Chain A
Amino acid sequence: MAIEVRIPTILRTYTAGEKAVTGEGASLSALIDDLEANHPGIKDRLIEGGDLRRFVNVYVNDEDVRFIGGLEAELSDGDQVVVLPAVAGGSR
């Protein structure tokens, strides 16, 4: 089971500069554990306190995972996962 994961610039230090890596897992949570096994440190940049970090967006086949179950979102072979940090800020 292969799932392509697109990695944003800021996290490519964990993937030896690769823009995309391949992972496995039946859910987003399992996929992230699999990524962590091959790219140690990446999980902490995606998850905080058992949930997706507030300012990290993950999309499965073009859909924001927050709308399809978050970490429990189901994945299948050939799915494409995209990770994008939020573009956000503010004066306070």
Chain B
Amino acid sequence: MLTIDRATYDAIVAHARRDHPDEACGIVAGPEGSDRPERFVEMVNAAGSPTFYEFDSTDLFQLYKEMDENGEEPVVIYHSHTATEAYPSRTDIGLAMEPNAHYVLVSTRLHGNNEGPVEFRSYRIVDGEVTEEEVTVVDEQTD
């Protein structure tokens, strides 16, 4: 199960809406081993594409360096699909390289840049196997 606070959930949705029709991407870092997504980090989609996303390699390096220094790991890795459902594609599955992360997919296919409900779903992707999990949105992260 993914437990995420309302502010972070809203920030992910806002990023996806803003970047529509291109895919938006980013992470939420948290203390290593905590499974708590605490630090929202929006990333640039270096692919700048409606059907693909990729973190810029230099940004990726800086991000992991920062997380390493802070004792963090990527608790959530999110991206949006802008014309299809919020379910991992074959590409998503093949390229999922963080077995401990929650892979969050948001779909903006219904309302694009506008307000309105978006699909927000979370998965574990390990060794090519996808397992959907429940998402619980809380007002604030508690211990």
Contact = CB atoms under 8 A, between A and B. Distances in A.
B82 A86 contact: no
Give the size range of A's interface with the partner. Answer: 10 to 19
A87 interface: yes
B97 A85 contact: yes
A84 B60 contact: yes
Interface of B: 23, 25, 27, 43, 47, 49-55, 57-58, 60-61, 64-65, 73-74, 77, 79, 81-84, 88-89, 91-92, 95-100
Contacts of B49: 90
Q: Is the interface of B mostly helix, strand, loop or mixed?
A: mixed
A55 B99 CA distance: 16
Interface centre among B64, B77, B82 (most CB of A within 10 A): B64
**A interface, by DSSP: helix, strand, loop or mixed?**
mixed
B89 A91 contact: yes
Interface string A69-81: 0000000000000
Given A91-B84, A92-B52, A64 B95 contact: no
B60 A57 contact: yes
B81 A8 contact: no
B98 A92 contact: no
